[in-house]
Structure 1
């Protein structure tokens, strides 16, 4: 067996170890990634100290690039949520559309809200409003629930500053502004298309109320507490769009300057952009929250960030070990033919993402692990790395089920049975993954 194939075998074993520890021994994903990194480095010939050095360097480099931005992004989102600003944005989006498009607007509202906040927070904020709209339109439960899941899942997966898309530019080494631009455009299109496809399936008798809704649950939608006189939608959206505008400033500047002036490079840096966005969120939240409440919100956000940072850093460690072994070239030589290199790379990234999401239940693990494996491959083919990121992340959208916390949050809050959860959460995200994949394939061949 050749050296390239042996590296592939080692990688498969390392991934099996990581997945086995998560699935069968219920070990934390971050710990499992470190163990898999140790195995991969040692058997691939990096040596004991070399492997440890590679793990430390990979973790440190990932935290250097993403630690502060992820933390700031989570604080920003929670301030907007707790102050009632997120609810104002959702109401504004829905109220500006006709009755015919109301369910699409709730999906787009979920897309906008899930850019700064996590998926589950966006779902909890929107579900009472969505259920009420569904009743007014005389539409069954899966219509509003599915629309929220689709919009929130796509934005959380594709648009920074949530961890996966934020990590993409660092892992695959391209401009974060491009990730924001492509993620927003592709995500917005995919949201509308996926909702239309999902509604088409529902219109064909896919939903069975008797078996898919849990009639025993009382008030499953909870009580959304919105502060009195929350910030207006226009005010609340400023902290969301400000970081994106600043980061895109650097991308636009590179068009006009051979090298961006120092002030543009400074202002467009992800740390500065998200710092200013977070400061803006503090001012916006001041309309309904005092200083102590805002500080408590920031502290709660940082507690929630800890596990995300640990998984992200461990993924960086695993990726660094993989790159050190030279396996990226082995993958390129074995799996990617010269004649179909672009399509092969995209499909390989997509199906790896599907595998990791299905087994681990974590879109973060799926996206970061896949992108780290694919990082070196992009250098060997004529494809912009943003499309490799989109393929990896679209795979990570696929097939969330009972081992995914998001599945249980949406199922229980919406008052569904497990079967109903599969028909909403699993099916809608699977459609979304395929839609994003198709757009990615088209985009990779055009741009």
Structure 2
């Protein structure tokens, strides 16, 4: 059991390197990985190779998929398609359900687009909708924060849920189906709960510091934006293909060769990127599209480094046999799936609270808990959902998304905690409840 102590010590070192020494999370994860290997007495000639192998194995599974997903999202944003989707979804709701419309728009946009970009696109619209509907402006901001954060954390092809299938060895289509439904349910319930809570705790004197810092940009009249359905096409092309492969496989067994190829997540996302290029070409020059893709690749590199470093950490955990020790520890307290999933949530929450990065919290928690599913008799997707819900829970001042959410609308730190942190925490609790109910009703699926 001493190896569990070495795991905790390595995690503590990773957290301290990120927080105190301000090292990049990827560097910190690799240092913690090598430290764990040394402490668990993995032979030195094997240590570096095992860590590199873990990095490479995870990258082989999701590297291209993550990159394609980020390029798709960047093209969707730069072509104006994201703005069209947001405006159409919000306008489709009445004043009574305006907050649900905002959260829904944020939910759809954050499946392919980074949180910060989604928020920047939607916050002017959120403020305008709140004004027209007679709703508190911070309520609209919180609705955007929880819709965007929940989708980005739970729904592929964003990096964290996309990695879940590789780390825990199950089909990404299952994560897409379960994560999508669970995230949508969590968003609807969280908006209702948040709408009831926020007016009771919001104090303008303390929570607002000044006028909103954003500038409302009108659409360029000379630029022909894509239509709503056309804007949705790049997003739904890979989603529908991946789901088709999962459903066909469940219903009919082995896939025909051509369908297995087309529904592979990498090929599906590549097709989505090609559709995104076709849509963007209607109002973007070749140079603009090249620049958009280059920006996306730069962002992808950072995400992939962190994700791959998490894969290296997981490889050492597996080689040292710590995954089996964790599973045995759960069995020793009864092997109850309720206890196991709550533990996943709390570990994810602890990482998010400590390091700020939802990606680090998600990947590391799933890596540590990857062997729990068979031990407690539930499908690994429920373990992944609990880990990801924990990683969504407590973003605060050490998270860049917190400052975007607080500063653009003109909120103080306390205002940011009541919008970004509280809203996403509520969504994370409902996502956890969904995972617990799912594990109880459909344990193996």
Note whether the superposition's TM-score is higher than 0.5: yes
Q: Is the 8 A contact 1:253 1:264 kept in 2?
A: no
Q: Which residue does the alignment assign to 2:376?
A: 381
**Structure 1 Cα separation of the partners of residues 17 and 203 of structure 2:** 37
Q: Which residue does the alignment assign to 1:229?
A: 224
Q: Which residue does the alignment assign to 1:28?
A: 24
Q: Which residue does the alignment assign to 2:40?
A: 44
Q: Is the 8 A contact 2:306 2:360 kept in 1?
A: yes
Q: Which residue does the alignment assign to 2:242?
A: 247
- C-alpha displacement at 1:265, in angstroms? 1.1
Alignment of 1:319 with 2:314, yes or no, is yes
Out of 80, 105, 110, the position equivalent to 1:109 is 105
Alignment of 1:56 with 2:49, yes or no, is no
SS in 1 for 2:216: coil
Alignment of 1:191 with 2:187, yes or no, is yes
**Structure 2 Cα separation of the partners of residues 339 and 360 of structure 1:** 31
Q: Is the 8 A contact 1:323 1:376 kept in 2?
A: no
Alignment of 1:275 with 2:270, yes or no, is yes
Out of 396, 409, 412, the position equivalent to 1:414 is 409
Q: Is the 8 A contact 2:372 2:383 kept in 1?
A: no
Residues 305-362 of structure 1: CA deviation (Å, up to 9, x unaligned): 1110100110000011101111111112223446452112211111110010000001
**Structure 2 Cα separation of the partners of residues 338 and 354 of structure 1:** 22
Q: Which residue does the alignment assign to 1:401?
A: 396
- C-alpha displacement at 1:184, in angstroms? 0.8
**What TM-score do the two structures reach when normalised by structure 1?**
0.96
Residues 53-106 of structure 1: CA deviation (Å, up to 9, x unaligned): 111100000111111111110110010001110111011111111111111101
**Structure 2 Cα separation of the partners of residues 136 and 30 of structure 1:** 44
Residues 17-76 of structure 1: CA deviation (Å, up to 9, x unaligned): 101101111111101110111011111121112111111100000111111111110110
- C-alpha displacement at 1:232, in angstroms? 0.9
Q: Is the 8 A contact 2:88 2:228 kept in 1?
A: yes
Alignment of 1:10 with 2:6, yes or no, is yes
Q: Which residue does the alignment assign to 1:69?
A: 65
Ranges of 4+ aligned residues in structure 1 off by more than 4 Å: none
**What TM-score do the two structures reach when normalised by structure 2?**
0.97
Q: Which residue does the alignment assign to 1:258?
A: 253
- C-alpha displacement at 1:258, in angstroms? 3.0
What is the aligned-residue RMSD (CA, Å)? Answer: 1.2
Q: Is the 8 A contact 2:139 2:195 kept in 1?
A: yes
Structure 1 regions of 5+ residues with no counterpart? none
Structure 2 regions of 5+ residues with no counterpart? none
